[in-house]
Structure 1
Amino acid sequence: MTALLDPTDVPKPTSPGHGDAFTRHMYSLRYAPGHGWHDGQLMPLAELSLHPATIGLHYAQVIFEGMKAFRQADGSVAVFRPRENARRFQRSAARLAMPALPEERYLEGVERVVAADQNELSDHPDHSLYLRPLMFGTDVNLMLRPSDGYRFLVMAFVAGGFFGDTVEAVSVLVSREHSRAMPGGTGDVKCAANYGPSFVAQRAAREAGCQQVVWLDSAEHRWVEEMGGMNMFFVRGTGDDATISTIPLTGTLLPGVTRDSLLRLAARLGHRTEVAPLSVDQWRADCASGAITEVFACGTAAVVTPVGTVRDRDGDWTVGDGTMGPVTAKLRRGLVDLQQGRADDVDGWLHRVPPC
């Protein structure tokens, strides 16, 4: 029997943290050959009943997305750039031989969950409604093949800070032993199989006293790629003359929606932006010389997170004075103001959702 999950059974803490303060509803949509996408419905958040031979469990035919809805200054709720996530979801599906989910069906699921559960989001400026769309193969068959049937779900939880209640610079460990992705692989899509193998390196980072791991390229173990599941940025110079640089999308990096938003926001604020490769040795040298003044990572969950110290087998170093720099703080504030409706939405990034 399917068991309903009632979030009111457990008192919610003042800070919701990240990942388990689930809301009351989820959206479900099914796919079958000859029927297409069908049976879309909003329902109470509930456990799933799956056969142990479900293809998605065995062959990792699972993709997902992450996006946030924010309380606006007028009390309404808006989702930040959901169409970009819908298009990335389609690219992920294509890479894993899954059927494309039409953009409007994706948005329907997001809108219905937000409309039903937006009252669970307070007006606390550090809280948001994190949305997790998910698709997986549902065939009961252990033949090594793509599933014919699929299920699309959208669930949500109330989120606080990814690294805690305050925004502080994190310490990172450069991973020399493990790689997140390789050319021709799935590093540029958001599939479940990308994440489990990263846990061992993340555990090594924690054991080294660091909050996150920095990934290098898989061929030379020399070029900086990502931090955990986040895109990285490097600030050169100071003040209005600072240049904002990030790593090229080589096919092994996830094209982050937050990454794209920050590049456009930085240019709008008058900063020069560039996309250029950076070796870990050059990163160390440029921090020592003062050429790189600030470093930060970005993503839906972590927003903009400064990097303060780096641990590496070839020597540790500090970025700037080890705290969040003024350019990072300005970009973070500018992004959050956009997301929460305190700045003009000149690009139409906010997708407003009326209540039920």
Structure 2
Amino acid sequence: MLDIKITKTTTPKAKPTDESKLGFGKIFTDHMFVMEYDAGQGWHDARIVPYAPFQMDPACVVLHYAQEIFEGMKAYRTADGKIQLFRPDCNAKRYQDSSERLCIPPLPVEDFIQAVKALVEVEKDWVPHSEGASLYIRPFTFAADVGLGVHASRKYVFCIICAPSGAYYAEGINPVRIYVEDEYIRAAPGLTGFAKCGGNYAASIKAGEMAEEQGFAQVLWLDGVEKKYVEEVGSMNIMFKIDGKIHTAPCTGTVLPGVTRRSCIELLKDWGYEVVEDRLAIADVMKAGHEGKLEEVFGCGTAAVVSPVKELDWKGDKVFISDGKIGEITQKLYDTMTGIQWGKIPDTKGWMVPVCQG
């Protein structure tokens, strides 16, 4: 159990009056959680303090060798004012996996959850009230040693910041166009594809920019060895409904084990669908599309919940899905997941964790 000291700001910010213009990750709350690690001492000095910049030495390890990890999660306000989290234990356990891969001292699951809950309770008035809006939560850890040389740091900073964020789909769920990337790769066996670290995202920017220039919303990444099998879409996992079965890439080291992915699979199995977690060749996806067997395609992740796909483009070959409309299963997953998160339908899965009354 962390002994968290709380210091409230004496100059609170004005809260947004128009929640339809929140955007994503542009506005930050009044406070942040901070805790340090020193070799021989462990994690110490857990505290909630006013949101402020860090002072960093130019030789700080993270600036040169990118030893850092992060998570993404949300707090939701229900109609009766209760504020709750969605499966924070899954984020906490994934954070431990990322820590292990990046040689960062792990945080106990219970400490991670306690820290998140404590900050959200302090910032409860920042949790949006409007339909589809939520408080985005960003825990992260970075190496804080000073000195050059490629080795694990002996000092770290763990921090959590929060950003009120608007509905991901301001005008409803709009199916998107996806570009299949076959030159650059996101991950390869033995690397950090399963970890949530900044280097993975930095490496993806080039292909994302190129796709955006051509009018595509996202990049579909193929495996890093044969460039043959589908893996992830941008910042989301991806699923394909082919001949009634749901296919998605296995989490075997190169794919991020998404919390939304995991939850979608549980729901799909509850509804009687066969979910195939196995390698799926992009050539087979395109073939199914041309034969009319590719019934639905959708990304899934914390920010969007689900993101329907209407078009895939691979080496100039195009397939179109669901007549450009959101598919039946995609819609059902979106309605069920958001219904549970915002307390509109019963949480029969035990996924929601209450924080406080807002």
Q: TM-score, normalised by structure 2?
A: 0.93
Work out which of the residue numbers 302, 305, 310 in structure 1 matches 2:304: 302
Residue 270 (structure 1) shift: 2.8
Q: Is contact 2:188-2:223 (8 Å) kept?
A: yes
Residue 69 (structure 1) shift: 1.0
Equivalent residues in 2 for 1:246-325, closer than 5 Å = 246-325=248-327
| Higher mean C-alpha deviation, range 74-83 or range 339-348 | 339-348
Identity %: 38
Equivalent residues in 2 for 1:1-356, closer than 5 Å = 7-8=13-14, 14-162=20-168, 164-237=170-243, 242-354=244-356
Q: Is contact 1:224-1:278 (8 Å) kept?
A: yes
Secondary structure of the residue that 1:205 maps to in structure 2?
helix
Which runs of no fewer than 5 residues in structure 1 stay unpaired? none
Q: Is contact 2:81-2:357 (8 Å) kept?
A: no
Q: Which amino acid letter does the alignment assign opposite residue 23 of structure 1?
A: T
Secondary structure of the residue that 2:193 maps to in structure 1?
coil
Distance 2:79 2:20 in 1: 21
Q: Which amino acid letter does the alignment assign opposite residue 348 of structure 2?
A: V
Secondary structure of the residue that 1:298 maps to in structure 2?
strand
Shift in alpha-carbon separation, 1:4–1:139, aligned structure 2, 3 A: farther
1:187-220 Cα offsets, whole Å, 9 max, x none, are 0010111111110000011111111111001111
Q: Is contact 2:127-2:134 (8 Å) kept?
A: yes
How many pairs were matched up?
Answer: 350
Distance 2:300 2:93 in 1: 20
Aligned to 2:3: none
Shift in alpha-carbon separation, 1:140–1:12, aligned structure 2, 3 A: farther
1:252-296 Cα offsets, whole Å, 9 max, x none, are 000001000000011222323221221111111111212120100
Q: Is contact 2:38-2:154 (8 Å) kept?
A: yes
Q: Which amino acid letter does the alignment assign opposite residue 8 of structure 1?
A: A
Q: Which amino acid letter does the alignment assign opposite residue 302 of structure 1?
A: A
Distance 2:11 2:213 in 1: 34
Secondary structure of the residue that 2:323 maps to in structure 1?
coil
Q: Is contact 2:177-2:218 (8 Å) kept?
A: yes
Shift in alpha-carbon separation, 1:280–1:7, aligned structure 2, 3 A: farther
Residue 32 (structure 1) shift: 0.9
Distance 2:352 2:106 in 1: 24
Backbone CA RMSD of aligned residues: 1.9
Secondary structure of the residue that 2:340 maps to in structure 1?
helix
Distance 1:6 1:137 in 2: 30
Residue 122 (structure 1) shift: 2.6
Shift in alpha-carbon separation, 1:164–1:59, aligned structure 2, 3 A: farther
Distance 1:215 1:65 in 2: 21
Distance 2:289 2:35 in 1: 49
Distance 1:167 1:21 in 2: 23
Secondary structure of the residue that 2:103 maps to in structure 1?
coil
Which runs of no fewer than 5 residues in structure 2 stay unpaired? 1-8
Q: Which amino acid letter does the alignment assign opposite residue 50 of structure 1?
A: M
Q: Which amino acid letter does the alignment assign opposite residue 218 of structure 2?
A: Q
Residue 143 (structure 1) shift: 2.1
Secondary structure of the residue that 1:178 maps to in structure 2?
coil
Distance 2:168 2:343 in 1: 21
Q: Is contact 2:127-2:164 (8 Å) kept?
A: yes
Distance 1:125 1:10 in 2: 15
Secondary structure of the residue that 1:338 maps to in structure 2?
helix
Q: Is contact 2:19-2:166 (8 Å) kept?
A: no
Q: Which amino acid letter does the alignment assign opposite residue 217 of structure 2?
A: Q
Distance 1:247 1:207 in 2: 27
| Higher mean C-alpha deviation, range 123-132 or range 163-172 | 163-172
Distance 2:65 2:295 in 1: 44
